């Protein structure tokens, strides 16, 4: 897809999300605790670090000579 199409879809999604949230604010505000609890596992699942233990230790890698 071209950049213009991506920007247009992003704007439509943002506007749609705004109106959806505006219409259902009473439901969202009444259940914000549950939404927060749902966000924790979703953030853990989708934050994209590539698995546990992938950060490594600098001492494990030999120094390069440049």
Per the model's pLDDT, the better-predicted residue between 63 and 9 turns out to be: 9
Range of 38's domain? Answer: 3-46
Which pLDDT score, from 0 to 100, does residue 16 have? Answer: 96
* Structural domain count, the chain: 1
Angstrom distance (rounded) from CA 15 to CA 62: 51
Residue 21 lies in a domain: yes
Give domain status of residue 53, yes or no. no
In this structure, which long-range contacts are made by residues 33-38, counting pairs with CB atoms below 8 Å and at least 24 apart in sequence? Answer: none
Task: Please state, in angstroms and rounded to a whole number, the distance separating the CA atoms of residues 23 and 54.
Answer: 42
> Residue 17 domain-assigned?
yes
Residue 52 counted as domain residue: no
pLDDT at 6 over 80: yes
pLDDT value of residue 54: 54
pLDDT in tens, 13-65: 999 999 999 999 888 888 888 888 888 888 888 876 655 555 555 566 666 66
pLDDT the model gives residue 39: 86
- Decide if 14 is inside a domain: yes
In a 3-state reduction of DSSP, which class is residue 51? coil
In a domain, 57, yes or no: no
């Amino acid at each position: 897809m071209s950049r213009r199409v991506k920007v247009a879809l992003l704007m439509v999604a943002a506007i749609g999300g705004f109106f959806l949230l505006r219409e259902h604010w009473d439901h969202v505000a009444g259940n914000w605790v549950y939404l927060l609890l749902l966000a924790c596992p979703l953030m853990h699942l989708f934050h994209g670090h590539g698995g546990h233990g992938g950060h490594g230790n600098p001492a494990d890698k030999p120094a390069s000579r440049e």
